[in-house]
């Protein structure tokens, strides 16, 4: 694997099942030349929709509330019609790429969906990196693995990520962080052995 193939970009993937169901999910994508690779862990609505419809949209957004929202039951983000595929795009995005499924590398755990871009558009300029946005994305990934990670590791990482939130967050980043921390605290209440210590999660 060369450096380009190793690069993972965190995006929002939108899909629509042929029966009509729209789904929004954060995913890490890789590029192999022109091809975009999406690799959902089974079971996955994104996987089901993409295989059934043969298309998806990759949305590039700096609104980290969408990442946090999808993991905390807030999936109702405004959508807009895509130009070339039946799956919708997010209405508020910096840019998006419309994809058609070309090949499936099947796997019982994590199939790889090789997709061909058929349309791309830029809607707003990139505004620069923000540390709080990166911290929210990292916390979102931790939250998506809460059942598999040791409590001590989650607590230590939250303590570090919180520094960027306190120093650089705006209202969107703060809201996204709060939603994710509510989820972390909820897991701790249900099972005190599987989530961070109260000292770390509540501060
Ligand atoms: C930044 C980020 C990247 C993610 N990347 C992936 C991924 O590449 N594959 C995956 O299966 N889940 C990934 N997840 C977790 C999924 O978004 C989440 O589990 C989701 O519910 C996937 O299942 P779904 O297709 O049924 O919605 C990611 C989560 C975050 C926050």
Q: Do both 59 and 135 map to the same domain?
A: no
Q: Do both 110 and 137 map to the same domain?
A: no
Q: Structure tokens of 30? A: 């890789």
Q: Do both 27 and 91 map to the same domain?
A: yes
Query: Which residues, given as ranges, of the chain have pLDDT below 50?
Result: 195-203
| Number of domains into which the chain is organized | 2
Its pTM stands at 0.93
Return all residues near 121 (Cβ < 8 A) that are at least 6 apart: 83, 95, 96
**Cα-to-centroid distance, 129 and ligand 1 (Å):** 22
Q: Do both 93 and 137 map to the same domain?
A: no
**Which pLDDT score, from 0 to 100, does residue 187 have?**
81
**Cα-to-centroid distance, 97 and ligand 1 (Å):** 18
CATH number at residue 150: 1.20.58
Q: Do both 113 and 145 map to the same domain?
A: no
| Closest of 73, 46, 72 to residue 59, by C-alpha | 46
Q: Do both 118 and 71 map to the same domain?
A: yes
**Which pLDDT score, from 0 to 100, does residue 193 have?**
58
CATH number at residue 41: 2.30.110.10
**Which pLDDT score, from 0 to 100, does residue 131 have?**
98
Q: Do both 46 and 146 map to the same domain?
A: no
Q: How far apart are CA 187 and CA 89, in angstroms?
A: 32
Computed from CA positions of residues 196, 186, 133, 8, in that sequence, does the dihedral angle turn out positive or negative? Answer: positive
Which residue minimizes the CA distance to atom 11 of ligand 1? 40
> What is the domain extent for residue 190?
131-202
Q: How far apart are CA 17 and CA 46, in angstroms?
A: 9
**Cα-to-centroid distance, 203 and ligand 1 (Å):** 27
Percent of the chain with pLDDT over 70: 90
Given 91, 122, 153, the domain boundary residue is 122
């Amino acid at each position: 694997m060369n450096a380009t193939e190793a690069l993972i970009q965190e995006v929002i993937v939108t899909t629509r099942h042929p029966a009509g169901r729209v789904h929004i999910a954060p995913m890490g994508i890789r590029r192999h030349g022109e091809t975009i690779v999406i690799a959902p862990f089974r079971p996955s609505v994104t996987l089901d929709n993409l295989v059934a419809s043969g298309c998806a949209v990759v949305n590039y957004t700096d609104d980290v509330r969408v990442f946090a929202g999808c993991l905390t039951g807030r999936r109702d983000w405004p959508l807009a019609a895509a130009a070339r595929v039946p799956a919708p795009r997010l209405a508020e995005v910096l840019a998006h790429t419309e994809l058609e499924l070309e090949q499936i590398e099947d796997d019982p755990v994590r199939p790889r969906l090789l997709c061909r871009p058929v349309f791309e558009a830029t809607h707003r300029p990139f505004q620069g990196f923000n540390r709080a946005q990166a911290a929210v994305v990292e916390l979102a990934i931790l939250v998506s693995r809460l059942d598999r990670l040791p409590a001590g590791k989650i607590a230590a990482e939250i303590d570090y990520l919180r520094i960027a939130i306190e120093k650089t967050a705006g209202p969107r980043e703060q809201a996204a962080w709060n939603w994710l921390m509510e989820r972390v605290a909820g897991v701790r209440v249900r099972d005190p052995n599987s989530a961070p210590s109260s000292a770390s999660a509540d501060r």
